[in-house]
Structure 1
């Protein structure tokens, strides 16, 4: 029997609601009833935690949280493992195969693991008070066949970062809103300054995100909980425009093998005209190159109408042992309490997924460009069990767009999605 999967589009309304947080949320403090105290007695429990790197500060933020938690719960020890986004899915797969799946996992799509019965239910790894503090639609987006497994960790979206100094040097006066304008502006920057006009990372680190920005910009989508839709006119238009940018020579060298993280360093250092990036990029600029003259605007699209790719990552647990589930619950309640959680969210420059967190951060002006885009956010169809394989197909195949046709790449990715359905 075919199962019914909830669509990731439910998260769009939830993220949009963050922009109205100052008047819409209750301000409850999740986790007060289970702050992590009282863990000093009982049998010792060892937990493993696998997380990706969002920024240079990710590891330090988690280490600080874990240290504070262990101080209140000396019988619980957490071993932290940090991987790049490029490697984390492969590492997770190997751990599952060797029966060493992490007790706490921070990552992307989890529906296939839920379907296989490998995940603990959300109600097993957090208290009712903490669970109720998540914005409702985010919680809905974490449900598979009606059961919630993931705990929404962070929310964000992508915007167009632009280098004002390079634009001025190249004689570009207006920030591009359409594909044609972006291509023309990128050409001028490349011709006049010698720097890449646009950064296009098609390596396996985040090829799916770059593709999604262009597909959404063409008026398309990646599918929903029942169908993955890649091979269509909108995707072909998007891939054709991406190829046009590469063929025009306005991107960095070898875009097909470029990973996002090193490419972003080029923009931060002032050596690139335009890139799509998340809020943490602003923090990286402030830390690494505070004199950079840059701005943030809506993504360029085919028709100029704003749309963006939203991000909603989660924490989940592969724990099956009851003692470990209880220990994970203590950690989750400790982490999602405002004092710990908001320090993490602000440290990574993301948006919160909790009601109380949204209330606390709703007036942050630094997040305004991204908050303004939230109502137009679209999401990966992560509740479709075929999305994991589709995501992998983007990462493995999109780099070939540099030398292959838009039609062929769309067809190959769709074939991988169909095979997983």
Structure 2
């Protein structure tokens, strides 16, 4: 612990100055995920290259070499590099616990100055811990709200200023939308892209979740069984989720259909606002409907950045990451990709800005949001099982209790192995 604090103190002294050189011609390999689109202006590679160039103006002896991969490839890409003995110095992706458990990551206390560590939104800092030591630094975050198409609501005789707050109201609104000819009254993306996310949102709205207070998996809890049973019987079986089976409906396709005016309601994160704007959709948002009222805690998602030990560039990695987490850089990324900032100063600045008024409902939920159990080494395997299997719960003759029990057993086995 002493060494970590000493490193952090040293970083706080150097990270603020201009022109500091730790060593000549140190090249940091950065591998990151793509948040943008195919255009050069929207690509995350361009964002990172701009940031690296600005950093090099202050630290001329350090160069950051950037590689960006699509989300569906990034986890396998980094894992492959690590297995081949070619770990990046810095990686930005969706999970960190496997690498931390294998002793391959620097603790955050050895990379960031104490003030920068203290700036993280508390709930996100805790979510970055493995066995109470923080290894994952939150890089971008989001929470979820119910999105609905106001024009389709009006056409269906629904109040465009009153989104449903309960499951019963959601089902009634979906039935009215179907009667008005809406192709997908409620989009239920339980396909392999992000089925674990949609599943967690519904678990939370039914009073359940993935884990209990002690961190143990409770996937087959009575609350979760009741939630998926209600979903199948009251939305899917009545044709209120469209003609395509939820098990083969991916989030990106559901978002695209909403932006095309074909979806009445769905759960979405902040970037859906920009997509809906491009489609000229007049939309509203509301808290996720729950069994008896709005869901108390929505789902939160964070993506992570981490520093690998293999090449021993601790001080250079720390200098760069302290730069990454400056308030203007955190807020700049959040603005650029319609995400939520991960530090308290950047969050406060956005909360107080009229320009970011529509993001405020998402920001207000962040500290109380329920996150994936990313600090569990078993989560990577468990999330894969959820993505692949949970959609089959919506099949007409599926054994929901048996399916959730099977997923629970696989999660427990992964936990034991970890």
String of CA shifts for 1:239-268, please: whole Å, max 9, x gaps: 223323222222241321222123211112
After TM superposition, give the deviation of residue 222 of structure 1 in Å: 1.0
**Are the structure 2 counterparts of residues 189 and 135 from structure 1 closer, same or farther at C-alpha, using a change threshold of 3 Å?**
closer
Aligned to 1:389: 381
TM-score scaled by structure 2?
A: 0.85
User: Using the alignment, how far apart are the partners of 1:149 and 1:264 within structure 2?
Assistant: 32
Aligned to 2:283: 294
**Are the structure 2 counterparts of residues 132 and 416 from structure 1 closer, same or farther at C-alpha, using a change threshold of 3 Å?**
same
String of CA shifts for 1:172-226, please: whole Å, max 9, x gaps: 2342111222122122223322420111111222111000010001100211554
Query: Alignment partner of 1:250: what SS?
Result: coil
Structure 1 stretches lacking a partner, 5+ long: 1-29
Matched, 1:408 2:402: yes
The higher relative CO (CA closer than 8 Å, separation ≥ 6) is in 1
Structural mapping, 1:31-42, within 5 Å: 33-35=14-16, 37-38=18-19, 42=23
Structural mapping, 1:2-401, within 5 Å: 33-35=14-16, 37-38=18-19, 42-56=23-37, 57=42, 59=44, 60-173=46-159, 174-224=162-212, 226-244=215-233, 245-252=235-242, 253-286=244-277, 288-289=278-279, 291-307=280-296, 308-322=298-312, 324-364=313-353, 365-374=357-366, 376-401=368-393
TM-score scaled by structure 1?
A: 0.84
| Conservation of the 8 A alpha-carbon contact between 1:31 and 1:336 | no
| Conservation of the 8 A alpha-carbon contact between 1:169 and 1:193 | no
RMSD across aligned positions (CA):
2.4
| Conservation of the 8 A alpha-carbon contact between 2:139 and 2:302 | yes
Query: Alignment partner of 1:238: what SS?
Result: helix
After TM superposition, give the deviation of residue 52 of structure 1 in Å: 2.5
Query: Alignment partner of 2:365: what SS?
Result: helix
| Conservation of the 8 A alpha-carbon contact between 2:330 and 2:343 | no
Query: Alignment partner of 1:295: what SS?
Result: strand
The size of the alignment, in residue pairs, is 389
**Are the structure 2 counterparts of residues 399 and 70 from structure 1 closer, same or farther at C-alpha, using a change threshold of 3 Å?**
farther
| Conservation of the 8 A alpha-carbon contact between 1:152 and 1:312 | yes
| Conservation of the 8 A alpha-carbon contact between 1:393 and 1:413 | yes
